Structure 1
């Protein structure tokens, strides 16, 4: 299919983008890498009057460490993050996740923030943000007064649905830096490597507690906190049933629940690398 007709704008400053969003609101869509948006437009799941390409806004492309956060701008490509030489040191979970995000070709165009804004429940980057307890930065026109920081737990609200308002631009995502006394693990099952996950699991294992997150099952990433002294298999079974899995063309609900149990057991009991 082909998209419905729309106007196209490629502003060169953040202020221009925010003005266009303020003027157009819900009739606009923001284009960064386009790996999610173009599919949505081609299937006519969205028919915006205006597509705003932010690729020309230079100050939205960066990877920076500020205080205890890894901050990533809205124009940063997934391939750039994967190639960042300090990734494994400062964000080991992302270092494990990024090779599973899409394919080589799509990572060269797709952006980190774009995947998070799209909020596909099977995508690895929203899951990573939720498990790590990260946050997003949303800005609207007159951004010094209209800027807000939203925790991942509040940002993801359902299938392809977030807390972003129509006149807001997601300008940055922030991931907490790794802690020396924590271990970071990830695994998933997909039809082929790089496709959306049937089930993806990410875990942050601390001295007293495990933070376990699941993607690909519910309508958003779901996180569960498990004390280290609990029986893991019992907790994983409770977690699997709590996700409300449904059958579809790719997998049955029972198969997804079993993947949560088995992948989770391996993830939580494997030796620390």
Structure 2
């Protein structure tokens, strides 16, 4: 199916992109386009304009700023996957993105596009929650920082306000942290039917799940069950039981609520075993 008519605007800077959003209030930002374009072709979205931010240089790149890793919103999955800086300090991100789609998807898809789109089955949101990431956004009134736990508010819904653009992701460096991501992929789309991210650091365990509910969420029951305990195979197995009730979980042709609840337990165990080196 063809999209409805729209104007195409190409932003050369962040300031220009914000200005264009003010001029076209119902416009959509075009990053990698893997989610937006299919939605438009199905007429599920009909923006009057697309604002292409793919060439905004200030939105790209990965760097370390003191005890924080800073990732530009337009950094591609491929750049995340091959980053030596992330492999050294935050290997869960290269691991997670290596499981996304195929090489063509990873060459164009971006971290900012994924987080702003907030697909309930996307891989990166769970990793952001487990890492304790912060999301920096900027709009006509200036910039602000949103904790990852407050950023994802519902299915395809975030804390982004009208006219704002996701600009950076800030991730605290956790020396000595062990981390892993495990997912059961959809056989066709490779999205997560269920995916679990875990980070074992000096402050204890942080765990999060994607694919199970309307948006990525912390697995607080798992974190509490293992608080102060050695990460042995026995303790992990005991903790990874009945982590989420099936009642409020997603269900579709691929997986029932009950099956997803089971997968949460299984993927949590696999991620923890991998992170613990067991």
State which of 237, 240, 243 in structure 2 corresponds to 1:236: 240
Q: CA RMSD in A?
A: 2.1
Q: Write the distance in 1 (CA, Å) between the matches of 2:116 and 2:109.
A: 12
For the residues of structure 2 that align with 1:191 and 1:138, how far apart are their CA atoms?
Answer: 31
Following TM superposition, the consecutive aligned residue runs of length 4 or more in structure 1 with deviations greater than 6 angstroms are: none
Structure 1 residues 193 and 96: alpha-carbon distance in aligned structure 2, compared to 1, 3 A threshold: farther
Counterpart of 1:146 in structure 2 is 142
Is contact 1:202–1:214 with CA below 8 Å preserved after alignment?
yes
Q: Shift of the alpha carbon at 1:157?
A: 0.2
> How much does 1:20 deviate?
1.1
Whether 1:155 aligns to 2:160 is: no
* 1-structure distance, mates of 2:270, 2:109: 30
Displacement of 1:247 after TM fit? 2.1
Number of paired residues? 268
Q: Mark the runs of 5 or more structure 2 residues left unpaired by the alignment.
A: none
Q: Select which of 166, 170, 176 maps to 2:172.
A: 176
CA shift digits 1:92-127 (9 cap, x unpaired): 211221211221110111111111111112111111
TM-fit CA distance, 1:209 = 3.0
C-alpha distance in structure 1 between counterparts of 2:190 and 2:174, whole Å: 27
Matches within 5 A, 1:82-231: 82-141=81-140, 146-180=142-176, 182-192=177-187, 195-206=190-201, 209-223=204-218, 224=220, 225-226=223-224, 227-229=227-229
CA distance in 2, matches of 1:208, 1:16: 41
Cα distance, 1:4 vs structure 2: 1.3
Q: How far is the alpha carbon of 1:57 from its aligned partner?
A: 1.8
**Secondary structure of 1:86 counterpart:** helix
In the alignment, the residues of structure 1 paired with residue 246 and residue 237 of structure 2 have an alpha-carbon distance, to the nearest angstrom, of 14
Match of 2:265 in 1: 261
Specify whether residues 241 and 99 from structure 1 end up closer, same or farther in structure 2 by C-alpha distance, changes over 3 A only. same
SS in 2 for 1:150: strand
Question: Whole-Å Cα distance in 2 between the matches of residues 236 and 58 of structure 1?
Answer: 43
Tell me, in whole angstroms, the C-alpha distance in 1 between the residues paired with 2:186 and 2:16: 41
Instruction: Tell me which residue corresponds to 1:72.
Output: 71
SS of 2:251's equivalent in the other structure is: coil
Whole-angstrom CA distance in 2 between matches of 1:39 and 1:237: 38
The CA distance in 1 between the partners of 2:202 and 2:255, in whole Å, is 35
CA pair 232-85 structure 1, distance change in 2 beyond 3 A: closer
- Name the CA shift for 1:83/1:267 in 2 (closer, same or farther; >3 Å): closer
Q: Which runs of 5+ in 1 are unaligned?
A: none
Q: Mark the CA change 1:267 to 1:72 in structure 2 (over 3 Å): closer, same or farther.
A: closer
In structure 2, the residue matched to 1:42 is: 41
Q: Tell me if the contact between 1:11 and 1:52 (Cα under 8 Å) persists in the aligned partners.
A: yes
Instruction: Note closer, same or farther for the CA distance 1:120–1:83 as it changes in structure 2 (3 Å cut).
Output: same
